[in-house]
Amino acid sequence: MSEPADDRGPGRRQTSPEDTAAFEGRLSELGGRLDKIKAQREADAHADLDADMRGRGMAYGMRMAAELVGAVIVGGAIGWGLDKWLGSTPWLFLLFFVLGFAAGVLNVVRAYEGMQKEIMVRTGGRIGNKVPDDED
Amino acid sequence: MPDPIHQFEIHPILPIKIFGWDISFTNSSLFMLLTVVLITAFFMLSMRSRALVPGRLQSMAEVGYEFVGNMLRESTGHAGMKYFPLVFTLFTFIFVCNMLGMIPGFFTVTSHIVVTAALAALVFLTVLAVGFAKNGIRFLKLFVPSGVPILILPLVILIEIISFLSRPISHSVRLFANMLAGHITLKVFGGFVVMLLGAGTFAALSPLPLLMAVALTALEVLVAFLQAYVFTMLTCMYLNDALHPGH
């Protein structure tokens, strides 16, 4: 054998102090790169979720409008029908129109509660958190 | 400019008249029939092997089943699974109708309020029938929220009744309005491309609405699925009210 005998065992034959330092440098660099990729991946997932929720936002918005308008129409129609029947034009129409509006607001509040629950479940609370209110 | 409303016109294909009623087989009927045939063929074909380890098609069918099944189970509990056939039929019908509508030149069945209103009325009447059959007169407790002072109770009951009656309206209008608005928007942007191409130097601007049309198509595919999902989800919620009216 031309090389000098090494007493540190077969696995460590080539590890000089400089090599160890270089190895540790590479290791920490690799760790840094991994962290960066992980953060990037998380940001991507968040962006995907955000885009998905934005698409749903339009559906939710349409739903809210339909909930409110539908109740006002039903209220108005009931009042109008009763007026025709009882000959009390326009008082019952006015009353039921306002009641229909109240029912519409009730619908919207209920729909919102449902949506909030659904969004919280779907996003794990990362998107759609409660915004702190001035009055709180 | 191409007429954006033209795509929603109904033409009779096979005129039929019975006792003065016009029940012609129209392009709308044709696409409903096509939808039903497609769904039936898909499920017959995909479930033919009934393998323990599902193949590709069978997996798709099973994913659809699990999706609707979970939705129903989460909102109504096990008692609601009896109504799975109704809910699953509604979901697949609306979903396939919406998706077929995304193919250029095809008719969108769900863009007519008469269709969505019929579907919503079906759900509404089912909820009423199931509610009274399961709970009898206790079903009316749905309109009496607990913990309301007796003084304003009549007012609250009136509001609750109006809110209940407005359900089929918002249920049907939402699906119809989404499909109608989406298809009109697509057509209008498509029309812009054609108009700009024929407008001399302005033709240079034509890629802009084209890009918009591409983006809108992607959005419309999402909306087609979402509206089917929302319709089914609301059906589940209404069924839950019928099964457990005490909130």
Tell me: the pLDDT tens digits for A87-115? Answer: 888 899 999 999 999 999 999 998 888 88
CB atoms within 10 A of CB A89: 13
The CA distance from A55 to B219, in Å, is 7
Judge whether B109 and B160 are in contact, CB under 8 Å.
Answer: no
Q: Which pLDDT tens digit goes with each residue over B30-48? A: 999 999 999 999 999 998 8
- Taking an 8 Å cut-off on Cβ atoms, the answer to whether A99 and B158 are in contact is yes
Q: For residue A49, what are its two tokens? A: 């979720």
**Nearest residue to B172 via CA among B94, B237, B236:** B94
Q: Examine residue A8 and state whether it is found in any structural domain, yes or no.
A: no
Using a CB–CB cutoff of 8 Å, tell me whether B62 touches chain A.
Answer: no
Judge whether A31 and A39 are in contact, CB under 8 Å.
Answer: no
Give the number of domains in chain A: 1
Judge whether B226 and B97 are in contact, CB under 8 Å.
Answer: no
Q: Which residues of B touch A57 (CB under 8 A)?
A: none
Q: Examine residue A4 and state whether it is found in any structural domain, yes or no.
A: no
Q: Which pLDDT tens digit goes with each residue over B144-154? A: 888 888 888 88
The CA distance from B219 to A110, in Å, is 27
Q: Which pLDDT tens digit goes with each residue over A32-43? A: 999 999 999 888
Range(s) of the domain holding residue A100: 21-123
Give whole-number Cα distances, A129 to A76, B71, B103, in Å: 36, 23, 38
| Percentage of chain A modeled with pLDDT above 90 | 35
The answer to whether residue B177 scores a pLDDT higher than 50 is yes
The CA distance from B214 to A108, in Å, is 33
Q: Which residue has the tokens 């969505």?
A: B116
User: What is the per-residue pLDDT for A18?
Assistant: 85
**pLDDT grade for B113, boundaries at 50, 70 and 90:** very high
Q: For residue B217, what are its two tokens? A: 């198509």
**CA nearest to B160 within chain A:** A103
Mean pLDDT of B156-160: 90
Q: Which pLDDT tens digit goes with each residue over A13-33? A: 567 888 888 888 999 999 999
Q: Examine residue A13 and state whether it is found in any structural domain, yes or no.
A: no
- Alpha carbon B52 to its chain centroid, in Å, reads 32
A-interface mutation test, from B74, B157, B162, most A Cβ less than 10 A away = B162
Using a CB–CB cutoff of 8 Å, tell me whether A99 touches chain B.
Answer: yes
User: What is the per-residue pLDDT for A12?
Assistant: 54
Q: Which of residues 18-37 of A touch B (CB under 8 A)?
A: none
The CA distance from B130 to B80, in Å, is 11
Q: Examine residue A84 and state whether it is found in any structural domain, yes or no.
A: yes
Q: Examine residue A132 and state whether it is found in any structural domain, yes or no.
A: no
pTM for this entry: 0.79
On the CB side of B199, how many CA atoms lie within 13 Å of its CA?
12
The CA distance from B186 to B174, in Å, is 18
Mean pLDDT of B14-39: 89
Q: DSSP state, B48?
A: S
User: What is the per-residue pLDDT for B128?
Assistant: 93
User: What is the per-residue pLDDT for B217?
Assistant: 93
Residue B136 identity: G
Q: Examine residue A50 and state whether it is found in any structural domain, yes or no.
A: yes
The answer to whether residue A8 scores a pLDDT higher than 80 is no
Question: Counting one residue from A and one from B, how many pairs have CB atoms under 8 Å apart?
Answer: 69
Q: For residue A126, what are its two tokens? A: 């990362």
B-interface mutation test, from A107, A110, A119, most B Cβ less than 10 A away = A107
ipTM: 0.71
Q: DSSP state, B244?
A: -
Phi, psi dihedrals of residue A17, rounded to the nearest 5°: -55, -40
Q: For residue B46, what are its two tokens? A: 């995909």
Residue A79 identity: G
Judge whether A79 and A96 are in contact, CB under 8 Å.
Answer: yes
Judge whether B152 and A44 are in contact, CB under 8 Å.
Answer: no
Q: Examine residue A68 and state whether it is found in any structural domain, yes or no.
A: yes
**CA nearest to B173 within chain A:** A66
The CA distance from B98 to B222, in Å, is 10
CB atoms within 10 A of CB B17: 9
Relative orientation angle of helices B167-197 and B207-243, to the nearest 10 degrees: 170
User: What is the per-residue pLDDT for B55?
Assistant: 84
Average pLDDT in chain B: 89
- How close does chain A come to B203, measured CA to CA in Å? 31
Whether residue A132 has a cis bond before it, omega within 30° of 0? no
Of residues B173 and A57, the one with the higher pLDDT is B173
- What is the b/e burial string over B225-244, where b = at least 16 CB atoms within 10 angstroms of the residue's CB? bbbbbbbbbbbbbbbbbbbb
**pLDDT grade for A1, boundaries at 50, 70 and 90:** very low
Q: Examine residue A131 and state whether it is found in any structural domain, yes or no.
A: no
Q: Which pLDDT tens digit goes with each residue over A61-79? A: 878 888 899 899 999 999 9
